[in-house]
Structures are given as structure tokens and as C-alpha cells.
Structure 1
Amino acid sequence: MPSITRRRAAKAGRPTSAEADILAATQRLLIKGASFTELGVQQISTEAGVARSTFYSHFRDKIDLLVRLATELMSSTFDITSAWTPADGPDRLTDVFAEVVAVYREHAAVRRALAEVAAYDATVRAFWAKELTPFTDFTVRLLRAEQEAGRAPADLDPVSAARVIVTGGERALVDHVTGADPGHDAAFARELALTWWHGVYRRPSWHDA
């Protein structure tokens, strides 16, 4: 399996001007309806206003480019979700998911490209699974802390529950932003928040249900 580690240390921080132009150009082309698989490096370079050689000085190949676009999506999403704790309650969780929906709408074309490429590329599938891991691990820690404090049921399985709500929630987000009208975003965020809250964080014990 090819490595998904970027070659140049300079890429770890803020992108260079040319790199940012290439990322933005790719996103524009995807938003216009281009298939990522069919996009050529020359087409991307032309859209970005850079030479083909410049593309390869910043990205190993198109997969490297897609990984970078997706990393920015998930980094901003994790920053939003990890700022919430159960002490903030379901109303704040609704606000958090409203922010996440907005981010997913902004990057919907990139997320579609990920789904497209993951269907045939093992590197992208492995990358995406790895990107979801911090969300799952964070949720497991929250649930265990809630159990220890007596606020979540003792018969809850934090690992299984976290996988269900993180993986299921992410897929629901994708389905929503790619198929539903933006006018339904607030209702979707509220339903997702209450599903997490009452279905996991504050659900009754199995014996009390």
C-alpha cells in the first residue's frame, strides 16, 4: 500500500501560495461537478495558474492532493466537536452539529470525491478510517468519564456506542449535505444532537428502560 505521508516537511504548516492555489483550484473544479478520477494534473494546474512541475513540487500525485483537502476538512471538524463536553448539554451539542453541517456543506464536493476514490483506492480508504479514529477515541473517553460519574448507564459499551454514533453520524452528515436542502440544516443538527444525547449520553439503563 502506498504511503499517505506527505513528502515535504513544509507541508505540515500553512500552505505556500502555490500550494493553496492548487488546493483551491481543485475544490473549485469539484464544486463545478468535475469527477476527481477524471481530473487531470494539467487541468488542475491550469485552473490554479501554475506549471505542472509546480504541482509535483507540492504533491506526490492526485491522491496526495485529495488527502490534503480531506485533512483540512476533518481538522476543522474535530476542532469544533472536541470543544464540546456533556456538561454543555444537548442545546450546545445542537449548536456544535450546526457548525459541523456548515463545514460539511462547504466541503461537500471534497467529501464526494473521497467517497468516489475510496471505492477503488485502498490508500484513501485507510486514510479515511484513520481520520475518524480521533473522533471515536474522544467520544469513548467522554462516555467512560460519564459512566464513572454515574451520569451514563453502567451497561453502556463505550467503544461500540462511539463507533455507532461517530461512523453513523458522519455518514448521516454526508447524506444530508449531498441530498437535503440547506433549509433543513437546523432541524438535522437538532435531531442528530438529541439522538446522541438521549440514545447514548443520557439513555436509561437497559434494566430501567
Structure 2
Amino acid sequence: MPSITRRRTVNVGRPTSAEADILAATQRLLINGANFTELGVQQISAEAGVARSTFYNHFRDKIDLLMRLATELMSSSFDVTSAWEPSQGVDRLAEVFVQVVRVYREHAAVRRALAEVAAYDATVRDFWGKELDHFTAWTLRVLRAEQEAGRTPAGVDPVSATRLIVMGGERALVDHVTAGDPGHDAAFARELALTWWHGVYRRPADQRS
């Protein structure tokens, strides 16, 4: 198997038919319980119905493939989340989180594979950290704008608050889709929205300092 320690550039453009088949096949194998580390390129290629050489025409190695799958997860999540603005209120934020939970459920096997590989591969850890940086930068920008407008208390530390709600929220999402009841997705999404809204964006006056 090619080295998994070299930094890769993830292709985020529209996939070709073969690329799409390989991505879909890998996700199917993961959903069916395959361990990503033990999953071979030949097995992936056979599941996708393509030659092994075709795999390497589109992906440098399995890590390149995993990061491409992870990019789809994070791009979908970010597109949904970044469409929300504080002026839309907490109820709309709860609806947004319902959509995010749905994305995480769809890609739960990929997220599990990321955690598996990140435990021993620094390239994947670095890649995943940079993917989360998009959420961090967006949240920090929105939170600071709300502070400047006087809607979020000046006593909120935007950097610390952003880390708490982004990193904590992502881990809570993973835990929920891994162990939570799908029938509770709406309740979970609302609690997450209320935590963001009342804990940070609209913190009560007596909690400003």
C-alpha cells in the first residue's frame, strides 16, 4: 500500500464517474463495518467495479481517498451552517442543526474512519484540524460582529467561546450520531442551538462578566 504519511492535495471538484464510483464504494464498505486501515485498494476497486489502476488514476493512495470523503462531509456541513445568520434567531438555528445532524448520520462511517486514522497519522490530524478551522473562522467572525453591534455581551471572550461551541459541538454531534437515537435528532439539534444561543450569542445580562 502506498505511504499514508505524505501530505496530499484533495481534489474537491466534481468527480468523474469512476471517482464517484470509488467514493461511493468506499462509503458502502465503511457503512457495512469495514475497518479503513485494513481495507485494501483491491477490495475498494472490486466493490467499485473498476481496475486497481483506475483507482490510482484518481487517488494517490487511501489517505487521499479518505480526505476526499471527509471534505464532502465538511463541505456539506459548512454550507448548511454558514447560511444561518443570528438575525434568523434560535428556532432557525435549531432547524440548521437538524440538517447538520442528517449530514453527520449520512457520513457517520467516514467520520469514524477519520478518527481511526487520525489516531496514528499526523497528516490526517492536520487535515481534519484545518477543515474545522473553516467553522472556527466563520463562528468567530459572526460572534465578533454581534459583539460590535451590541447584541452579544462585551464580556464574552469570542476566541474561547468559539472554540467551546465549535469543538464541543462537533464532538457532541459525533457522539449523538454514534450512540444517540435517531428519533431524538430534533431534540438534540434544538438543545445544541439553545446552548449556542443562550450560552454565547444572547448570554443573559447577569452572566456577562
Q: Which residue number in structure 1 is paired with residue 14 of structure 2?
A: 14
RMSD: 1.2
Gap regions ≥5 residues in structure 2: none
Residue matched to 2:92: 92
Given that 1:155 and 1:205 are in contact with CA atoms closer than 8 Å, whether structure 2 keeps it comes out as no
Structure 2 residue aligned with 1:3, among 4, 7, 32?
7
Contact 1:155/1:206, CA 8 A, preserved across alignment = no
- Work out the percentage of aligned pairs sharing the same amino acid: 79
Separation in 1, partners of 2:182, 2:208? 38
For 2:155 and 2:117, the matched residues in 1 are separated by 39
Instruction: State the 1:206 CA deviation.
Output: 5.8
Deviations 1:49-81 (A, max 9, x none): 000000001000000000000000100110000
Aligned 8 A contact 1:4 1:127 in 2: no
What is the alpha-carbon distance in structure 1 between the residues aligned to residue 37 and residue 52 of structure 2? 18
Question: Which residue in the other structure is 1:132 paired with?
Answer: 132
1:178 aligns with 2:178: yes
Check the 8 A contact 2:155/2:208 in 1, yes or no: no
Shift of 1:37: 0.5
The separation in 2 between residues aligned to 1:207 and 1:194, in whole angstroms, is: 16
Query: Where does structure 1 lack aligned partners over 5 or more consecutive residues?
Result: none
What does 1:119-198 align with in structure 2 at a 5 Å threshold?
119-198=119-198
Q: How many residues align?
A: 205
Per-residue CA deviation, residues 13-47 of structure 1 (Å, 9 max, x unaligned), is 21000000000000000000000011000000000
- Give, in whole Å, the separation in 2 of the partners of 1:57 and 1:42: 14
Report the 3-state secondary structure (helix = DSSP H, G, I; strand = E; otherwise coil) of the residue aligned with 1:4: coil
> Aligned in 2, Cα 1:49/1:208: closer, same or farther, shift over 3 Å?
closer
User: What is the TM-score normalised by the length of structure 2?
Assistant: 0.95
Instruction: Tell me, in whole angstroms, the C-alpha distance in 2 between the residues paired with 1:172 and 1:183.
Output: 16
Over residues 141-188 of structure 1, what are the superposed CA-to-partner deviations in whole Å (9 max), with x where a residue is unaligned? 111111111110101111111111001000000000010110010100
| Native 8 Å contact 2:12 2:68 kept in 1 | no
